[in-house]
Structure 1
Amino acid sequence: MMKNVSFFSALVTASGAAGTVSLFFSYAGGDTFFLAMAAFILVLAGGFLLAALPEKKRFPLTALLFVLLAAVLILFHSTLKDSFTAFSVPLFTTLKEPYDVDLALPRLPEGASPLAAEVYMVLFLSWFFLSAFLSKTGAVLSSLLSLAILLLGFYFGINPPPLALALAGAYMISLPARLKGNDLTHPEIPAFLAALVLGLVLSFVIPESRYEQPALFSKLQEEIVSFVDPYDPIFHAGNAYTGMMKGSAGRQKLGNVKGIRYSGRIIADIEAADQPHRLYLRSWTGGDYGSNQWKDLPDGRYKSVAHLFEKNQGEWYDQGAWLMEVIARSPALSQSLANYMKDDESVEGLKKDFNVDAVYEKTPFFLLPYDTSFGAPLFAYDRSPMSREGKAYSTYLWNLPAGALLSMMEEENSSDPYFRTYLGAEKEYRRFVYDHYLDIPDAVKEGLAALGPISPARSLSEKRQRVEDIRRFLAENYSYTRSPGKTPAGKDFITYFLTESKKGYCTSFASAAVMLLRASGIPARYAAGLTVGADEIKDAPLSEGGLHRLSINDHHAHAWAEVYVDGLGWRPVEMTPGYEGSENPFPLPADRQKNDTGAPDAPVDDKDKTSRSQPKKDQSPKESPPQSQGQPQAQPKGESAPQPPQLNQQNPVEGKKSFPKILFLLLLIPLLLAGFLVFRLTEVSRIFKNGTSGKEGFNRLLDYMDRLSSYAGLPPKGSYEERKAAFQKDQRFQGWDHLLDLLVKARWSGNPLDREEKEEVLSLIVKAREKCLASMTWGEKLRFLFIHKL
């Protein structure tokens, strides 16, 4: 039997070692079970060995083990160097995943194996936990090691294995109890068991997809980033915003990380007026997909329309703002547009101030809302603007009256040169859009084919309905998760999402939606950036200028799809479930027109009246508006209207069977509870067993004596006469008056009790406890044993 070291205490330390080793090696990927079990066995066996040795020999043996580890490192440094290099490659690969940078991996020597490095690290980590048997200082060091490894994972945005997190976390939580207790009571054992059970239950109730970085770790990460940011080009990027940018602009690939993790890092400070809909701030948009990457269209595709982009100020990146600027400068056009707007609206009133006060990310891209007046010589073709300078700016947004604009543009015959230039150029750019933003790679066509035939949507009302159909299809048949896992090597990201995994976060939904829209004949492209709900802006405090001021963190990082609305340009379309407040990009045309005096014009005839009648809310117009000029694939006369897409309804994705995990918990929790009950039931036996073996054990026995007499209602303190009289009156404590005499004699004589006298004291206390138990009911015994710990 282990002397002065509890068997359960050894289990606690060995479990902490197993959890910490599993945490560390999980960062390098692969199965950590055997490495964790090796650490568990090493620490448990080492604990028994240390306990069997005299106390004076324990520290020299532990020091010798450390010297041996150092000697192995020195003598076999060449072999270990190659092995550590082999081990570092998957470790660095995992750690660099959350960062939007390319880290140079060390060159792997031919034939190098990580096995030697793994064995050495298991021995080295186990040595820390063996030191916990020596002293409380060793326990502190091993707990700090566990915390450092855990923080490493949280900082790099890696979700640790739930069981490893529960074991290491429970070990760290039990440290205060270890520091407070002693080698007889071992209060760290119930603390560890309670924390472990709670951790396992939480890991079962809260799935890994809902993990978020704790606020404390987020704050710590922010402090580290603030300190190293001026000198370090890497760590600033460890947040969900850069995670959303993966696979964008040809950098890295979609599906090469297990999931997205939110840190709470502030990305930008903005000031905005109230918004009628969800606000989207584009950071990057791209229309060319291949090899699990979104890229800009190649330069060669712009040759036929190169003249449209001369002196480019971003007109084709945001046509809505350009169109509104043209209309606003012309009183006649402004009045014409106002004729289709509500009575309390004016063109000038649609313009709202907007500021980006600061951008904290080292990104080459701006954060630009839609319909932003942001002219600058930073644009190339219709791509996102880039600059190495600061990204703060002040401008205004247009609350684009899309339906009124379509109605006005259909009827307007203004000779305004700017307006005519816009209409002519937009038709030419529209043809370019339909030529290049409907492409679907062969790898994606295979996935779309599995969903069934998708009919083209040609008219405005059909496109509007198609957006709703695709939204509903994705929401009903696919699951949102922050941890969908990696896309297997050799598989296409979009096809794998649509046909196999059927789960993902916004990058998956946006990418798939772009292809579903393109298959429907609707030009679409991929966008990534930030999004803020209208209510969140409204609830933000006001600045001195009367705008709502708010800081946007990486919880607002998002990816979405864009569609081209004929005549208006690129508009956002939300396809990820759960993002409320977004509008359908294809508007219902306004149904009324007012004359110059503000009075509604009477319809010219019944046909015109019918074409201008507004459908009921949430219904498509009974008759589609006339086909816009320049739109390809016009529907031939005499053919029936296209049918909705025949997308096969799919069962929601089923995750891996959780029965083994449930079974594991069902078995483990009762075992842990049983262990706790055994520990509690045997606590008094341990006190009695060690009561006569030393000063500390005897003092613990006297503490128990005071607790037992206090429970029975006898005074644990007071004068000698009062306590002696109380003991003589209670038959359960017969002989305790003599026990009190022995203790008083030892105190005043200065001579400690001898072995025989201590055994007499122990015998009297044991008999008193037995008499107390004999007179109790079962309920009283349970309270006596478990609640009062007597």
Structure 2
Amino acid sequence: MNHVNYEKLGVQRRSVVLLADGLMLFLGVYGSIFCLVTAFQLPVDGGKLTLTCLAAAAAALIVFSVPRLGVRLLLVLAALAALAGVVVWEYGQLRVGALVCARQVVATFGWSLGTSAELDISAWVGTLSFLREVQTSTLLCQVFAGAMGLWLGWLFVRVRSFWLTFWGSFPLLLVPLSVTITPAWTPLLLLVLFWGMGVLTRLPNKRDPYGAAKTTLCVLPLAAALLAGLMVLLPGEGYQRSDQIERLRLQLTDWVTMAGREMVSGDGNLGLGGGSTEVDLTKAGPLNYDGSTALRVEADTTGHIYLRGLSAAVYTGEGWEQLPDEAYEELKSGWMRQEMNLDALTSSQFQPDAARYVDVPVPGIGDYQPINFPALADRSTHPQVNAKRYIIENLAGSTAVVYTPYQLLTTPERMTGAEFIGDAYLARGTGVWKHVLYARDEANPLSGAVLTGEDAEAEQNYRLFVREHYLQVPEDLQETLGSLLAESGIGGTVRSQEEPIHISEFDKGTIYYGSSLTVRVNITAEERLELARQVAQFLAGLTEYDPDTPLTPAGEDFVSYFLTESCRGYCMHYASAAALMLRTLGVPARYVSGYVADTVAGERVDVPDYNAHAWVEVYCDGYGWQSVEVTPGFNGDFPWERDPDETAPPSPSASATPTPDPSPTPSAPQPTHSANQPGKAKADWSWLWWLTVPAALLLLAVALVLRRKLAARSRGRRFADEDANRAVIEMYVYMERLLAFAPGRKADERAEELAKKAKFSQHILTGEEREFVRAQTEKLARETDLSQKWYQRLVLRYLYGLY
């Protein structure tokens, strides 16, 4: 381990190092303590606690700056004894303070999680005045500040390891961040400043502590000025901030919060719950989850729901991507659409190359949001239908999107904390993790619901946009998919070429089976959904559901390989293949990822990460996008087809997973696991908790023994260096480290003289001289080890690895 030998720095340099270390310690102790105090709004005397943090930093600096090990150990024991004495002497007050703080922590957690949880401490302490609450809580935090000072003092001043210091203080910030509670700005920024300076001086802090101290003292004023500027830009709640300042504040808060979320559970899985707005199918290997909670949902209804996160339009062979921004701009403001001129066609024979195209302007949809169309259609037909409220909190799902129910009624002008991105998804607003949304879950495309007036005009324009962008299939896949569909007989009934064809539907409603041309136009919503069901049944008979499906080989098309080579996969495979097969049939479709949940009216439901799922959306003219389940072994019935009496609240032990179809297609293999669950059942490993401490101690013992052996091997290699001068210098450095454990003992004078010759002169030492220094080094090591007490010997051997 590295430590500073203050005696060899000189008085002036020693003072600079001590000053820099003291300032850094104060930043670390103050930031750590007050991050907890302000996050949970503990009732403390801020002035007294600040002075305590200053005193704790100064005391820790004194204790761990002492060069002699024996004195240092005595000071550490004295400090610990003082803390223990305070705990014993003030046990009653500390007990009250602990209960007050516990009550405040529970209340803050309850507020963050949306519950009314409270801890009633009156049975233990009776009625407390606010003054006593402040006194006892302050005393408890003062004791904790003293312990924190010793802890950070050892890590930062003695061990001088940035990473140990960081991990020794970050958990205090991680506790509130785990439930999206952020501390006050001042302690948070001071703690970040402490870590930042630690990173900046990490390397010189070990080799050149004086240089690191000078860097710290030079940079700290600049950092303090930056901190003051941030505090001016981001003042207290009573100040009305400008929009730009508020966005900056939220972005900084969001960055810290997201860092905490990633430390807790990471991001979601690939194109199911992942944080990207693109789906990377090259990473779709065996499913693997840890069971952590991804979403928390409270709904006004009881039932099985799909929460859409991201829909994708463009298939690349290796993934799904969003439409370009230009397409979304055209969707809003309008575009020119090329349509075939029917005058160039004859009823007896179709000649595509001879057809001429004409440009027809299409108005955009303005401020309409296509995701709202189903709810708007239902409202126009059934104006008395009540909107249902959904409260959705994102705990560990995608950080990019807001997960929404279908038939979403909340329109863009009523949306807060989120923004619609084209027709694809709802982007999460910075700093907002919980959203209140409204939907009309009774709406369905077969209910006769229609859009009227301007709503209908916007949908008709969007319908043309859908046919241009959601019927595209890569050319190299068209023949493969066409052949499979021709063999399956799906969609065999189509209109003949002699029947009139509407100009707006002609060019995008064509499918090819070999060399013959068939045309599909004016397909009803019922026909489109039936085709989707037939495609799902065909895939279930052709392939096998397998959550342990390996990665698709590099260079292979994901869907083609799934359908013709591996013939096994899970929801990502089925949703990708079904979307492209439906497009080949002339049915607008797209890939969707999100979560499924079983809600209980009026209750909060945790949605685990293994409920991430992928499915298909089919566009129904006059209505909008309708979700379709295409993964085999799961209930493919549409919501309006289910018996309301069959919907029952899930048992407390049941996780919110998709309901397996009780009677799947005979040709469809029954998966043994949910499409959203890990590929292997989870065993009960709770008994391992009792082995944690013994296992940790055993691991620590093995690490220390290994550390000692590696240190001895390294010394032997350096002492046997071919360059005698270099070897002797290494021996002398080793002797100096040994002498720190043996105050009053000195190195052999001749050995020291030979080391100085090797270092500062042109003299080349002989082999005999090297062996003499080696003998003296080994002698000093033995004598130092024998002179130590048993606990000092353990430290010398295993912690420092010096013998």
Larger Rg: 1
TM-score under structure 2 length normalisation: 0.37
TM-score under structure 1 length normalisation: 0.38
